[in-house]
Amino acid sequence: MLMCLVAALALAGCGDFWQPPNGTGSTGTTASTTTLAVSSSSVAVGASVTLTATVSPTAATGTVTFDDGTSSIGTGTLASGTATLTTSFTAAGAQSLTAIYGGSSTYASSTSSAVTVTVTAASSSAAKAGTSEATAADPLSLSGGTHNTSTYQSPAILSSGVFSATGGTYTAGNAEAAVVEGNGSATLNAATLSASAGDDRGVLLYQSGSSSAGDPSLTMTGGSITYNCSAASTPACAQGSTASGQNNPATLFSVANATAAISLTDVAVTNNTATALDSNGTLLTAEALKTGTWGVAGSNGGHVTFQAQGTALTGDVLLDSISTASLSILEDSSGTGSSLTGAINNANTGKTVNLTLDSQSTWTVTGTSFLTNLSGLDLNGATVNNIDGGGHCVYYSGSVNGSTASTIYLLTGGGYLAPAATTGLACD
């Protein structure tokens, strides 16, 4: 009898302190650990950053809450031990972020160590400090904003790591719009790039130092790029190659001492590099620059894969004897073709120069051109429908649409596509 009374009193006394393990907020007894990673440790105000919480054991289920200091900024649901949240910040400063796993009926709650994200002002101007820079150790992702530089050799974008941007305006007043070095990359979506004067180029992809192992890349989807080469401030624009800081005249894209990839999809391109010597200006150069400083002489040329989809291009393509180019002028996913107006390898100096067209895209030739292989040509017998020769000759040393037969083709608008050894044609 006494034992029953003691038991009853014990249960009544414990009622304020114990609840069965099926109430809201209850957690199990199996220990868990939570770690937090961020997609970038430095972002601009308004730029997106992704927070990833990893909970161990991976069988854990439930919700992770992400905190900025003591304030919650969002939640994520665990899937295979991972929960994510993409967010942005409205003010500059250091943000101390943590991930808190709320636990489950099986696993106990746990909190990650704090991770700091530095948020910078969205707009920058003047001086080299205004350059939006990504390094191998510190990638950079930006969204929107206005980013300006005005100092010589201060590009709007500088990447030796991973740089990405959505929207935003990037303007260099006396330098390249973008410089990508080594194994760096720049990926731009609906961004506006512009450059003036500077080092006689709108975009530079290169490898500095003695190595030539760099693989820089530039990818643009939508948006626009403009290069204004002012004759007043850039001698190359007024006088041609002898006054240029590089071997060839001022150019929109320059590749040196590296194997680079350039991809433009539905980009509005304005190439204001025309000179008294060349009314088309120069679209692309691949060449050795700064021999003795960049790479080893004889092997420090530029090698570039250049692809345009749904994009209109104007300007010549120039190469030196140790450089190569593979050009693809193609339609985009909606069937809008690309176009190129200019001469390719006019001096016949390029080591290897290949061109791919499709039936929706065109090349308008403005001077004698020399290529290795051409593919994707729209042929009607011995007439090429998607190359307008303008009365000029294009010579090939390799193949046309895979054929190595020594065939002479007629170009629409006059001119010929002919084997390299051909002589006596009525064109320049």
Nearest to 345 by CA among 377, 314, 323: 323
What residues form DSSP beta bridges with 403? 400
Per-residue pLDDT, averaged over 212-216, amounts to 76
| pTM score, whole prediction | 0.70
Per-residue pLDDT, averaged over 383-397, amounts to 97
pLDDT band for position 333 (50/70/90)?
A: very high
Name the pairing type of β-strands 157-159 and 132-134: parallel
pLDDT (tens digit, 9 = 90+) per residue, 359-369?
Answer: 999 999 999 99
3-class secondary-structure state, position 237: helix
pLDDT (tens digit, 9 = 90+) per residue, 107-121?
Answer: 999 999 999 998 875
Token pair recorded at residue 273: 């590099």
What pLDDT does residue 236 have?
58
Helix, strand, coil content of the chain in percent (nearest 5)? 5, 45, 50
Cα 319 to Cα 296: distance, rounded to the nearest angstrom: 17
3-class secondary-structure state, position 328: strand
